[in-house]
Amino acid sequence: MNKTDESWLEVACLGGGLTVEAENYLRLAGLSYAEDDLAESYLERAMEAAPDHAAVLIGYYRFYFYKGRLLDALGIARICLEKAAKDNGLVSDWRRVRGSDANFGSYEAILPRFYLFTLKAYGYLNLRLGCLDEGREVIMKILELDPSDKIGSKVLLNVLDRMGMDDED
């Protein structure tokens, strides 16, 4: 699939281009969700079979996130962020990305949208883990790249701004 055609990502996130082996391991991981060690072993096998596939990375991220393993989810978010930067032709340091580096203003632009959602997940996890300064910096970067807030990052900023206030404030 041609990576210059942004439809590859949408297909990849839905499992397109995934090897049968990796797809089977992801399915088994889902079926084994209640058994942490077994599910994680299937995710590891899926990662070995398709290490750079968005569906595998997203599966891993969701597993860790919903299991409350936020540090592990943050590690996967970092890998996803590196992948999203590479796929968009961006610098790897999110702090140095500029609005003119990709078509961040269009919700239909799948690769830039994947980058923004990945950055949002990274920022959210930082907030949940108590890294409030890093989380705020990430949210501000997202709003710089997406000033019309198509992906809904202002909600996170509002929550962050209200932290420590009484309900009557």
For residue range 72-104, list pLDDT tens digits in order. Answer: 999 999 999 999 999 999 999 999 999 999 999
| Same domain assignment for residues 89 and 129 | yes
Angle at the Cα of 134 from the Cα atoms of 66 and 117, rounded to 5 degrees: 50
Which residues are within 8 A (CB) of 86 and not within 5 positions of it... i.e. 6 or more apart?
Answer: 92
| Same domain assignment for residues 168 and 126 | yes
| Same domain assignment for residues 96 and 157 | yes
Q: Is the pLDDT of residue 167 over 70?
A: no
Q: Which residue segment(s) compose the domain that 45 sits in?
A: 1-68
| Same domain assignment for residues 23 and 102 | no
Report whether 18 contacts 55 (CB < 8 A): yes
More confident residue, 88 or 17: 88
Judged by DSSP in three states, 16 sits in: coil
> Rounded mean pLDDT of 115-121?
96
Residues found in the chain: 169
Rounded Cα gap, residues 112 and 26, in angstroms: 26
Please count the structural domains in the chain. Answer: 2
Q: Which of 68, 99, 118 is the last residue of a domain?
A: 68
| Total-model pTM | 0.85
Least confident residue range of 24-28, 146-150, 165-169:
165-169
Q: What is the pLDDT of residue 7?
A: 52
| Same domain assignment for residues 93 and 55 | no
| Same domain assignment for residues 108 and 141 | yes
| Same domain assignment for residues 79 and 45 | no
> Rounded mean pLDDT of 55-81?
96
Q: What is the pLDDT of residue 110?
A: 87
Judged by DSSP in three states, 48 sits in: helix
Q: What is the pLDDT of residue 85?
A: 96
| Same domain assignment for residues 55 and 104 | no
